[in-house]
Amino acid sequence: MTDRLYLDHNASSPARPETIAAMNEALKTGGNPTAPHGNGRAAHKFVADGREAVALAMGVCAQDVIFTGCGTESINAAIHSAVVAGCSPIYVSSLDHPASILAAEASGSDVRTIPALADGYVDLDWLADQLSGLSADQRPFVSIVAVNSETGVVQDIERATELSHAAGGIILVDAVQAMGKVPMTFIVDYLAVSAHKIGGPQGVGALYVDPEAPFTSLLHGGGQEKRRRAGTLNAAGIAGFGAAAKVADAGMDHLSDIRDAIEAGLKEMEPDLVIFGEGSNRIPNTSFFAVPDTASQTLMMALDLDGISVSTGTACSSGKVGASRAVTAMGLADKAPHGCIRL
């Protein structure tokens, strides 16, 4: 479908040429990465090289990276580990991906939701007040999304981490939308990423676990990943992830100028256009807006017929009719009565 204009990279970014080439090479080996023979050793090298590349892009040590099946699994594994370790309360941001929110709710723990501000930022002053009121025997767990997938607003992870650690707690940062778009300099306890958001293959994720952070396996079986995540490793997928990680930030420098020009043009055509997170620190490739008098589904279908692929929000939820989670959390649902469009 090369004749189409694809503007839905926050949902999934098409595989890069480097990804496809690396996966093709790995698929030719035909070995299990844990097997001792030549084919197995060849497959293991693809995994080891992929781990080094992904860890470098994450800004962490390779030995602390666990490969998973997706970002959702990475997030669930971190929350599961924190709950098993007795962390409570569990704080999740109202701007978090549903994977974080629903995993926390399913844990049966004391879950508290960090509100969002109208500019698209998480209310860290609220979190600070909450954490200061905890007793000495409470060990809080905080989940923060580094970049909201709808608005593209970049959160203050440094301050969130400082608040969490000062309260004796641990923090998970969902960096699925951040990888390749913002500097990965997070000093956190858990860091979740996903390959297909940076032009890697679908079906591969990774989780960084700080050596001092608690970890309890979600999956039980073989001894893969130092017994932290059972199941045969996806050597080809990991090779593709590593290849994509090496070039994840390529071409990002000029994207904010393109986005700003698109937004300026849209405002000329539609003066009542509302851009969510405008004026806030956003990743360069994202624009999330509403045309007050036009249904987003109508706009999306019209663009689709013209060969332009856009979305109405988070891919995991965009098939559902209703207001944007992010816009609702920001208290701006009245600004988008007919939905939003994300480029």
Note the pLDDT tens digit of each residue in 302-330: 999 999 999 986 555 545 545 799 999 99
Average pLDDT score over residue span 51-56 = 98
Which pLDDT value is given to residue 215?
98
Please identify which residue in the block is written with the tokens 């093709």: 24
Which pLDDT value is given to residue 3?
83
**pTM attached to this predicted model:** 0.95
* C-alpha to C-alpha distance for 3 and 153, rounded to whole angstroms: 30
Residue 116 has pLDDT above 90, yes or no: yes
Residue 160 has pLDDT above 50, yes or no: yes
The helix or strand, by DSSP H or E, that contains position 170, with its residue range, turns out to be strand 170-174
Which pLDDT value is given to residue 228?
94
The percentage of residues in the chain with a pLDDT greater than 70, rounded to a whole number, is 97
Which residue segment(s) compose the domain that 289 sits in?
Answer: 5-12+251-342
Number of Cβ within a 10 Å radius of residue 284:
17
Which pLDDT value is given to residue 318?
45
* C-alpha to C-alpha distance for 203 and 160, rounded to whole angstroms: 29
231, part of any domain: no
* C-alpha to C-alpha distance for 33 and 234, rounded to whole angstroms: 9
137, part of any domain: no
Which of the four pLDDT bands, split at 50, 70 and 90, describes residue 2? low
310, part of any domain: yes
* C-alpha to C-alpha distance for 342 and 97, rounded to whole angstroms: 16
Number of domains making up the chain? 1
Average pLDDT score over residue span 110-114 = 98
243 exposed, middle or buried (CB, 10 Å; 0-12, 13-18, 19+)? buried
Average pLDDT score over residue span 9-16 = 96
Average pLDDT score over residue span 133-161 = 97
Which pLDDT value is given to residue 1?
57
Which of the four pLDDT bands, split at 50, 70 and 90, describes residue 253? confident
Residue 92's DSSP bridge partners are: 113, 143
**pLDDT tens per residue, range 62-101:** 999 999 999 999 999 999 999 999 999 999 999 999 999 9
Residue 246 has pLDDT above 90, yes or no: yes
271 exposed, middle or buried (CB, 10 Å; 0-12, 13-18, 19+)? exposed
278, part of any domain: yes
User: Considering the chain, what is the average pLDDT of its residues?
Assistant: 95
Q: Is the dihedral of CA 165, 167, 168, 174 positive or negative?
A: negative
The percentage of residues in the chain with a pLDDT greater than 90, rounded to a whole number, is 92
131, part of any domain: no
* 50-59, 173-182, 292-301: the lowest-pLDDT one: 292-301
Average pLDDT score over residue span 35-44 = 94
**How do 90-93 and 274-275 pair as beta strands?**
unpaired
271, part of any domain: yes
Which pLDDT value is given to residue 323?
74
Average pLDDT score over residue span 245-254 = 90
85, part of any domain: no
Residue 138 has pLDDT above 90, yes or no: yes
Which pLDDT value is given to residue 314?
59
Average pLDDT score over residue span 208-213 = 98
- Catalytic site positions: 316
Are 67 and 204 contacting, i.e. CB atoms less than 8 angstroms apart?
A: yes
**pLDDT tens per residue, range 267-297:** 999 999 999 999 999 999 999 999 888 899 9
* C-alpha to C-alpha distance for 134 and 333, rounded to whole angstroms: 32
Which pLDDT value is given to residue 60?
98
155, part of any domain: no
State the CATH number of the domain containing residue 308: 3.90.1150.10
